Each structure stands twice: as structure tokens, then as C-alpha cells.
């Protein structure tokens, strides 16, 4: 009896040691046609190193998924039961999440971590809030695969371009006065017919005008859009012989070349054109219209894959749903620069409790300590190599393409052994624990 008891205690100690060290993950890749080809894609290079697979030079590599979502699960070598999905492993070992996370979200990760490599614009889209997500999942489960909301953060790995949120009322007036093709599409003699005569009514009326025009564009027939875009393209190609086109005009020509006769090209005129430098981030809340245009980024979001599309896509569109849900905030979105935690680490704190992201760049021989936190973390190594050491664990080598799951309440140290070790950590928003 005593020997059996000792064996049981030894097994429990071994289990505790295993559950207190980083676990290596094998991740999923998405080959959407907007992704970069072959080794030009950072996603392809990371996935190849992570999985040991060959890079197909003719294949598009768009997204690397890290997490528990069923559409792209990560897998772990379970020391107690062979290969299993990360979600299955967490369900068997829920203590790794920490008490507060387990109580709030159950035995699952509330966030999803990705890398995106974009060659061609993604669809104009929005993500539903929780109430709408539940309704859409119930009514169209094949299209909306879960019942969760999907606020997200995009953190630029390279120069990054996106459309996000409606333009200001001042910019709306400019568009109406400088793009005659819009007036032709929506009807009317000139822009002044759409602009309020009374300055006191300016804001309310212009807001209604913006919503009306955006709706009319997306609901126009493909033939009508094709006709109007041909005129717009012809005019801009003449104009660029006389003057430098604006950034938005150049973007319209790019989008038209990627998505001919697509209403999303015209709709893009009414969304903010955002350019991020490396290390800058953009937050996108529920029901906000947006589209990623070009570049590579780290993306973190609530665990969901719900997308309502309306333009710049060959996939199924749900225009009426998108128009009914859109958030009406106007003006240029905030660009997040991050908060410095130490000389190597910057934290990006979105206004969403499910997640935060740390960006860490270590020069050769430098070390950084990630303190113990009450929730789990996912670590992604973008470039370089080094070591990681954690509580109750020996040091492990880490390098580009490695992805690790770190349990709650584990302090760990990372040391660079290359010119630059570049990594990202996704975890529960620290404000959640403070609250």
C-alpha cells in the first residue's frame, strides 16, 4: 500500500513538472489565394520550420493559426497520451489556465493567435458582436461556424496597409466633390445636391448621406458597378499624366486590378486608408468595417472565425447583415504604439479582456524575464535563436518557427544566442486580472 502511494506521489510530481514547463505546438496553415506565394511568405517559412514540411513555391501561404479553434487547431505532444489537439490537452489539464480564466471562459483559450502574409486585399468585412454572433451561428452554422464575437488587433511585422472605419464627415465632402463617378452611381446632378444647405444640419445630414451612399454602392448590380469603375479608371489614368494621384486614388486603381467590377472598390473610398509602420498596431472592435490590404502582421483576437463579407471577395457575401450591423463611428482610428515594459519588450493592450500581445526583440546574449501571470500564454518565435528556462524546468533551445504554450503561474526567462531573437507573446489582457 505504501509503495503504491509513493508511486502515485511520484507520478503526481512528474505531472506537476510537465505542467509547469513550456509545451511545443504544431500549428495549422491556411492557403487562401490572397496570401504570398511560397518562400516569399513569412507564414510559409514559419510553418515549414514549425512542421518540418516542404514549401510549395506555387502555393499561397496566407495565415498561420495558433490556438484551439476547430477551423485551424494546434497540436501538442502530450507526455501522458501521445499527440492531441491543444484544446483536448487543455480539457484534460484545465489547471494550466488558472482559476480566473477557467471560471470566466471554461476549459479553453479565449484568444486566437495568427500570422498573416498578404499579397492581395482581403474582403471588406465586419465581425459580429456576441448577440449577433449567436443569432448568425444558430441560423447559418455552415457560414458562421461559432457563436463568439471577434474583436482583433493587427500588429505590423512589415509596412502594413488596411482600410478601417468610416471616413470623417470632412473627408466625405471631399469625396463627393472630387469623384463624379460616385454622384453618377447614386444619382443626382452634382455633389451639392447631396450636401446639406443648412450648416446647422450638416453633421446629422452628412452622416445619413454616408450611410445611404455606402449602402447604395454595395447593393448596386455588378453591371452598373463595372460601368462606373471603367469610367473612374479611365479618368484616373488620364489624371496621373498631369498630376500625382492621391494615395486613395492609387489604392482604388490597385483594388480594381485585383477585383474588377467589384463594388468594394467604390466602397473603399468611404473607409479610412491606414498605413502602419513595423511595430504599430490597429484595434478593430465588433461591427467595425475594415479590410487588410497588404503586408505582414501578427494578429490576435477572441477565439472566433465569424466574418460578415460585403466586397473585394469571391466568397459568399452577406451585404444586408453587414449593413444592419455596422458601427457608425467616424474619423481616423487610433494607432497603437505599445507600452514599454523594459528595454526589450513592448506591450499592446487593446480594450478587450480576452487578450494582449507582447513584442520582444533581444540582441545577442541579452535576457528578459517574463513574470508569472494568472493565465496562459502562447509564444511565437519569428526569427533568431536562444534558450528558454521556466520554473521546475531545464532550459530548452528555441528558434524561428517555434511555438510554445506556457501554463499559468509560470515565470520564464528567454536569452538570445543570435544577433536578434524576435518573439511575440499572446496572453489574457492583464487588466482582466486587475479588475
Dig out the grid coordinates for 155 from the structure: 500588429
Which residue has cell 490597385? 254
CA angle (282 as vertex; 215, 288 as ends), nearest 5: 25
* Cα 65 from Cα 43, distance rounded (Å): 10
CB 163 within 8 A of CB 273: yes
Closest to 426 measured CA to CA, from 68, 60, 160: 68
Question: Could you give the residue ranges of the DSSP H alpha helices within 93-221?
Answer: 99-105, 130-139, 169-178, 180-186, 202-219
Sheet architecture: strand order including 23-26: 82-85, 75-78, 23-26, 403-406, 377-383, 420-427, 356-363, 345-348, 339-340
* Strand pairing category for 63-66 and 111-118: antiparallel
Dig out the grid coordinates for 254 from the structure: 490597385
* Cα 222 from Cα 262, distance rounded (Å): 7
* Cα 127 from Cα 133, distance rounded (Å): 8
Q: How far is CA 268 from the centre of its chain?
A: 19
Please indicate whether residue 309 is annotated as part of the active site.
yes
Would you list the DSSP string of 422-434?
Answer: EEEEEE--HHHHH
Catalytic residue among 49, 235, 309, 317: 309
Catalytic residues: 309
Amino acid at each position: 500500500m505504501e509503495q503504491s502511494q509513493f508511486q502515485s506521489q511520484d507520478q503526481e510530481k512528474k505531472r506537476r513538472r510537465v505542467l509547469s514547463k513550456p509545451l511545443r505546438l504544431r500549428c495549422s496553415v491556411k492557403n487562401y489565394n490572397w496570401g504570398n506565394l511560397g518562400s516569399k511568405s513569412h507564414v510559409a517559412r514559419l510553418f515549414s520550420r514549425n512542421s518540418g514540411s516542404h514549401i510549395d513555391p506555387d502555393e499561397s501561404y496566407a495565415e498561420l493559426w495558433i490556438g484551439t479553434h476547430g477551423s485551424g487547431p494546434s497540436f501538442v505532444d502530450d507526455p501522458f497520451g501521445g499527440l492531441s489537439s491543444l484544446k483536448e490537452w487543455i480539457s484534460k489539464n484545465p489547471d494550466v489556465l488558472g482559476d480566473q480564466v477557467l471560471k470566466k471562459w471554461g476549459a479553453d483559450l479565449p484568444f486566437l493567435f495568427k500570422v498573416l502574409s498578404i499579397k492581395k486585399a482581403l474582403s471588406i468585412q465586419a465581425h459580429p458582436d456576441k448577440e449577433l454572433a449567436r443569432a448568425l451561428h444558430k441560423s447559418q452554422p455552415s457560414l458562421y461556424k461559432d457563436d463568439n464575437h471577434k474583436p482583433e488587433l493587427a500588429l505590423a511585422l512589415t509596412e502594413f496597409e488596411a482600410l478601417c472605419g468610416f471616413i470623417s464627415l470632412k473627408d466625405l465632402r471631399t469625396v463627393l466633390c472630387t469623384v463624379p463617378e460616385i454622384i453618377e452611381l447614386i444619382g443626382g446632378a452634382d455633389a451639392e445636391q447631396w450636401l446639406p444647405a443648412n450648416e446647422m444640419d450638416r453633421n446629422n445630414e452628412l452622416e445619413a448621406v454616408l450611410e445611404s451612399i455606402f449602402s447604395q454602392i454595395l447593393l448596386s448590380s455588378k453591371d452598373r458597378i463595372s460601368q462606373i469603375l471603367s469610367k473612374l479608371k479611365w479618368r484616373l489614368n488620364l489624371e496621373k499624366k498631369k498630376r500625382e494621384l492621391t494615395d486613395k486614388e492609387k489604392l482604388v486603381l490597385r483594388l480594381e486590378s485585383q477585383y474588377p467590377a467589384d463594388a468594394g472598390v467604390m466602397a473603399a473610398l468611404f473607409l479610412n486608408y491606414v498605413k502602419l509602420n513595423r511595430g504599430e498596431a490597429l484595434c478593430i472592435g465588433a461591427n467595425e468595417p475594415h479590410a487588410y490590404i497588404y503586408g505582414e502582421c501578427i494578429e490576435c483576437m477572441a477565439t472566433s472565425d465569424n466574418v460578415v463579407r460585403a466586397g473585394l471577395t469571391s466568397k459568399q457575401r452577406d451585404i444586408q447583415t453587414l449593413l444592419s450591423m455596422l458601427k457608425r463611428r467616424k474619423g481616423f482610428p487610433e494607432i497603437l504604439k505599445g507600452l514599454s515594459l523594459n528595454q526589450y519588450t513592448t506591450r499592446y493592450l487593446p480594450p478587450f479582456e480576452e487578450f494582449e500581445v507582447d513584442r520582444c526583440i533581444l540582441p545577442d546574449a541579452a535576457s528578459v524575464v517574463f513574470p508569472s501571470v494568472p493565465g496562459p500564454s502562447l509564444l511565437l518565435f519569428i526569427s533568431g535563436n536562444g534558450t528558454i528556462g521556466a520554473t521546475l524546468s531545464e532550459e530548452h533551445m528555441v528558434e524561428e518557427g517555434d511555438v510554445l504554450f506556457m501554463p499559468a503561474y509560470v515565470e520564464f526567462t528567454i536569452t538570445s544566442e543570435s544577433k536578434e531573437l524576435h518573439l511575440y507573446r499572446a496572453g489574457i489582457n492583464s487588466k482582466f486580472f486587475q479588475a
